Chain A
Amino acid sequence: MTNVVIGSLGEWVRSNAFKLTLALFMIPALAVLVIFQLVPTVWTIWISFTDMALLGRKFHEYSFVGLKNYEKAFNDFGFWASMRVTIYYCLASLVLRFLLGLAAALYITSRKFKGKRIMAAIFLLPYIIPGAIHPYVWLSMLETDYGTVNRVLRALGLPPQSWMYERLTESIIAINSWAGYALAMLVLTSALTSIPKEYYEVADIYGASRWFKFRKITLPLIKYPLILTLILIFKEDIDDFTYAYMFTGEIPYPDYRTELLALYAYHKAFSDFELGFGCAIGFIIAVIVFVITLVQLKIGGV
Chain B
Amino acid sequence: MERGFLKRIAEPSFTAIGYVVLLCLFAYVLSPLVWLFVTALSPKGSPYLEIPERLTLDNFVNVITGRVVGGTKTAMHPVYTSRWIANSLFIGFATMVITVALSAPAGYALSRLRFRGKDLLMTAILLIGFMPMTAKMLPIYRLARQLGLIDNLLGVSLVIASGTIPTQIWIIKGFFDHIPKELEEQAWICGCSYLSTLFRVVLPAAGPGLAVIAFLSFLSGWGNFTVPLIMIYSEPLYPISLGLASIFVHNPGEIGLAIDYGSACALSVIYAIPPILVYYAFREHLMKIRLGKLEVR
**Interface, chain A (partner B; CB < 8 A):** 1, 17-19, 21-23, 25-26, 28-30, 32-33, 35-41, 43-44, 47, 54, 102-103, 106-107, 110-111, 113, 117, 121-126, 128-133, 135-141, 143, 146-148, 164-165, 178, 186-187, 189-191, 193-195, 210-211, 214, 221-222, 224-225, 228, 235, 238-242, 245-249, 253, 261-262, 265-266, 269-270, 275, 278-279, 281-283, 285-286, 289
Contacts and interface: CB of A to CB of B under 8 A. Distances in A.
Interface residues of B, number: 95
Interface stretch (B61-69, B73-81, B203-211, B282-290): B282-290
Contacts, number: 279
A113 B22 CA distance: 13
Given A38-B128, A141-B32, A228 B294 contact: yes
A225 B295 CA distance: 8
Interface of B: 3, 5-7, 9-12, 26, 28-33, 35-36, 39, 47-49, 98, 101-103, 105-106, 108-110, 112-113, 125, 128-143, 158-159, 161-163, 165-166, 169, 193-194, 222-223, 225-226, 229-230, 240-242, 244-245, 248, 250-253, 255, 257, 264-265, 268, 271-272, 275-276, 279-280, 283, 286-288, 290-291, 293-294, 296
Contacts of A246: 244-245, 248, 250
A32 B47 contact: no
B250 A249 contact: yes
A41 B187 CA distance: 43
B7 A211 contact: yes
Main secondary structure of the interface of B (DSSP, over half): helix
Q: 6 shortest A-B CB distances, which residue pairs?
A: A25-B105, A36-B162, A130-B223, A286-B135, A29-B106, A140-B35
A28 B102 contact: yes
A26 to B, nearest CB: 5
Contacts of A241: 226
Contacts of A282: 134-138
B283 to A, nearest CB: 7
9 contacts: A22-B112, A41-B135, A129-B271, A133-B36, A139-B35, A191-B291, A225-B296, A249-B251, A265-B134
A224 B244 CA distance: 38
Nearest to B292: A190
Given A242-B226, A265-B134, A132 B287 contact: no
A130 to B, nearest CB: 4
A135 B249 CA distance: 11
Contact of B26 (A122, A135, A164): A122
A126 to B, nearest CB: 7
Nearest to A286: B135
A262 B286 CA distance: 30
A243 to B, nearest CB: 10
Contact of A29 (B31, B165, B245): B165
Given A36-B162, A130-B225, A165-B253, 6 more contacts: A33-B128, A128-B272, A133-B268, A139-B255, A140-B47, A275-B138
